Amino acid sequence: MIKLSNIDKWYGAFHTLKDCSVNVSRGEVLVICGPSGSGKSTLIKCVNGLEPFQGGEITVDGVSVGAAGTNLPRLRARIGMVFQNFELYPHMSVLENICLAQLKVLKRPRDEAEARAFALLERVGLKDHARKLPSQLSGGQQQRVAIARALAMDPIAMLFDEPTSALDPEMINEVLEVMVQLAQEGMTMMVVTHEMGFARKVADRVVFMDQGEVVEDAATDQFFSAPKSDRAKSFLSRILQHV
């Protein structure tokens, strides 16, 4: 469903992504990990065209992201995205956050949009917080609202960029639980994360990136039991020694 073929991207003279190819099939959960600065955020932002790329091709559900004629807003409306810093709109209530794109992009009637918002808030355990401002919620709660906001568009796939990295440790699980549930329901997901417990539990495949390259792309079991590259091995030993 998501197909990245030989993606090259430069920031000025800096070669950020080098010939990256990744596929995610329908219903598959892909975890992307790698050291800071390796290009994970950049790669995932290319998938919905938030970052332009200079070489290669990305298609989502058969639609080319980079092609000149593509209606990017329409494509993005079908792909949910969750950011490290939540990025809820601080001047709107939780309910408004979840309704905005439903009203303006999908043109849903307000009562329908609100009903959908309440159903999703219930699902992420925040039904009583609909009228609050994001700043009145904890980080974990804000991130669950952000997931609800993305799901309200009935996306065909979800992108997560380090959704738990900005959270206090005690809030990580409440967010991961929502994501695990999504994965088990068959959502197509691309998740940048260092939560290896999450990867083991629900990922079908793990991609390891380093210095702008896809160094390893393996089935989850294989990635953890027998990583092929030395770079992935040393990364894993560094990150897993704390677990």
Ligand X SMILES: Nc1ncnc2c1ncn2[C@@H]1O[C@H](COP(=O)(O)OP(=O)(O)O)[C@@H](O)[C@H]1O
**Binding stretches for ligand X (CB under 6 A):** 11, 14, 16, 34, 36-42
Candidate segments 36-44, 164-172, 200-208, 220-228, binder of Mg ion by CB under 5 A = 36-44
Among 104, 110, 127, 131, binds other proteins (CB under 8 A): 104
* DSSP β-ladder status, 157-161 and 79-82: parallel
Integer Cα distance of 116 and 127 in angstroms: 12
Backbone angles phi, psi at 144, to 5 degrees: -70, -35
145 binds other proteins (CB under 8 A): no
Q: Which is nearer to other proteins, 167 or 206 (CB)?
A: 167
89 binds other proteins (CB under 8 A): yes
* 159 DSSP assignment: E
73 binds other proteins (CB under 8 A): yes
Q: Which is nearer to other proteins, 8 or 87 (CB)?
A: 87
Among 16, 38, 41, 188, binds Mg ion (CB under 5 A): 41
Integer Cα distance of 97 and 89 in angstroms: 6
Task: Describe the strand order of the beta sheet including 63-64 as a list of residue ranges.
Answer: 14-24, 2-11, 55-60, 63-64
53 binds other proteins (CB under 8 A): no
Helices (H), the chain: 40-47, 72-76, 94-104, 110-123, 139-151, 169-184, 196-202, 220-225, 230-240
164 binds Mg ion (CB under 5 A): no
Question: Under rule CB under 8 A, which residues in 178-237 are in contact with other proteins?
Answer: none
Integer Cα distance of 217 and 7 in angstroms: 15
Q: Which residues bind Mg ion (CB under 5 A)?
A: 41
Interface contacts to other proteins, rule CB under 8 A: 45, 48, 50, 72-74, 76-81, 83, 85, 87-91, 100-101, 104-106, 146, 149-150, 153, 159
